[in-house]
Amino acid sequence: MTENSAQTACRIYGIKNCDSMKKAFTWLDERDISYEFHDYKKAGVPRERLVEWCRAVGWKTLLNNKGSTWRKLNAEQQDISTQSKAIATMLEYPSIIRRPVVETPGGQLLIGFDPTIFESFMR
């Protein structure tokens, strides 16, 4: 894994021990694509960044409502119907943000790991 390289190809956000993240790291490493990793479980995600992502892909795309963190939330916490509530919940529980979130040098935002999509935007 290349962190903080002089010419970073992309910035990848997620949680280090997540299976999707491991697949993404392996895919990038096998192709010698440099990246900077931001662990949002440890460092969080700035609110402004979440707002940008929501504008780009929509809050429903960012929200991981299938994981264990989501299942641990009570019904009131899971009752998310607005971007503002989604962002507040993602700030409080960063593990419910889908992974990985990749910002490419070309300005694209990739959500989740799909090798075919990675291939089309990372070369």
Please list the active-site residues: 18
Residue labelled with tokens 């892909």: 57
Structure tokens at 55: 């504008």
Q: CB-hemisphere CA count at 13 Å for 79?
A: 3
Q: Is 56 exposed, middle or buried (0-12, 13-18, 19+ CB in 10 A)?
A: middle
**DSSP code of residue 95:** G
The DSSP letter of residue 83 is: H
The neighbouring-strand residues paired with 5 are none
